[in-house]
Amino acid sequence: MKFSSIRYLTEQGIENIWKNRMMAFASFCVLLVSLLLIGGSILAYENINSVVGGVEEQNEIIVYMEDGTPEEKLKQTETLISAIPNVGQVQFRSKDEEYLSLKERMGEYDVLFDALGDDNPLIDSFRVKVQDISQMNKTISQIQQLENVMQINAPYEFVSFLIQLRVLLTWVMGTLIAAMIIVSVVIISNTTRTSVYARREEIHIMKYVGATDAFIHVPFFIEGMVTGFLAGCGALVITWLVYTTVVDIIQNQVVVMNIIGIGSIIPFHQIYFPTVFAYLFGGALVGAIGSAFSTRKYINV
């Protein structure tokens, strides 16, 4: 195919949007709504996931060491804990530090501390943060095998709840997103089919005058791609406006932010590029493929 023909077909595809503006508008609206539904679901999932992840990060394992463990052994243990694959962060808390901290926090109970005299009843410990809480039990058993480890405290029940919540969330949101995609594909395919059906006569004429399949496909393909791209632009603008507004509202709710953790809500600038790419590329791709598939049916003349 000559370059002039490709240019002509591209122009035809763009012109056809205007010439068949009612059907093009219907396709645009369907694509826009579909992209918003899918995009919105994915963004909601990502944020809920981030909130759960934030809550997870706040959980830590406390590893108590045997009283009187020499400093060298403590340093060795810290190195060994840090070397465990699932361990994210290890912080040593000496019994002296803990004692001072406790005294500060319980300033009104001076009498109790006076009674203890110079004795420090606390023991050295490590605060360990795990990367993947679903692997926490395995990590604990690995730490337990280390020398001089006396006891490990971990929020087992809460972690178990978080794991279940994440599994549930993945299933619910995954099903919802899959359903949205299926519904969208069905609606888009029907809309493009209706649009192409309205122009089946045009396709037949093209075939009778000797047009190749590619010659017939290209304008429809371009038309679908441009319509999809425009729908992607629309969905992007709407998402940006709604998302930033919702994030602003949530971030102004101090109580809510305290529960879910500051930084758990993903700011738009952080997801700007993937969102722009997904909407524009996704819209253009779905529009183009939808048109191409719908045209195929009427091309066998």
Cα end-to-end span (Å), the chain: 21
Site for other proteins in 213-242 (CB under 8 A): 215
Residue 198 lies near other proteins (rule: CB under 8 A):
no
**Interface residue with other proteins, options 73, 200, 204, 296 (CB under 8 A):** 204
Q: Which residues contact 212 (CB under 8 A, 6 or more apart)?
A: none
Classify strands 87-93 and 61-65 as parallel, antiparallel or unpaired.
unpaired
Number of residues that bind other proteins (CB under 8 A): 21
Residue 8 lies near other proteins (rule: CB under 8 A):
yes
Closest of 229, 198, 210, 209 to residue 295, by C-alpha: 198
**Interface residue with other proteins, options 201, 253, 263, 277 (CB under 8 A):** 201
Collapsing DSSP to helix, strand or coil, 121 comes out as coil
Is 215 or 240 the residue whose CB approaches other proteins more closely? 215
Judge contact between 127 and 60, C-beta under 8 A: yes
CB of 206 to other proteins, least distance (A): 7
Q: Which stretch binds other proteins (CB under 8 A): 1-9, 103-111, 189-197, 260-268?
A: 1-9
Q: In what order do the strands lie in the sheet with 125-130?
A: 87-93, 125-130, 61-65, 149-153
**Interface residue with other proteins, options 19, 75, 127, 297 (CB under 8 A):** 19
Is 2 or 105 the residue whose CB approaches other proteins more closely? 2
Q: What angle do CA 174, 58, 131 make, to 5 degrees?
A: 65
**Interface residue with other proteins, options 209, 254, 258, 273 (CB under 8 A):** 209
Residue 212 lies near other proteins (rule: CB under 8 A):
yes
**Interface residue with other proteins, options 48, 65, 87, 206 (CB under 8 A):** 206
Within 13 Å of residue 210, how many CA atoms lie on the same side as its CB? 0
Residue 207 lies near other proteins (rule: CB under 8 A):
yes
Backbone phi, psi, residue 153, to 5° = -110, 130
Residue 192 amino acid letter: T
**Interface residue with other proteins, options 50, 134, 202, 285 (CB under 8 A):** 202
Residue 16 lies near other proteins (rule: CB under 8 A):
yes
Q: Which stretch binds other proteins (CB under 8 A): 15-23, 132-140, 244-252, 256-264?
A: 15-23
Rounded-to-integer distance, Cα 97 and Cα 95, Å? 5
Structure tokens at 257: 């932010």
Rounded-to-integer distance, Cα 250 and Cα 182, Å? 31
Q: Which stretch binds other proteins (CB under 8 A): 13-21, 93-101, 228-236, 255-263?
A: 13-21
- For other proteins, the binding residues (CB under 8 A) are 1-2, 4-5, 8, 16, 19-20, 201-202, 204-212, 215, 301
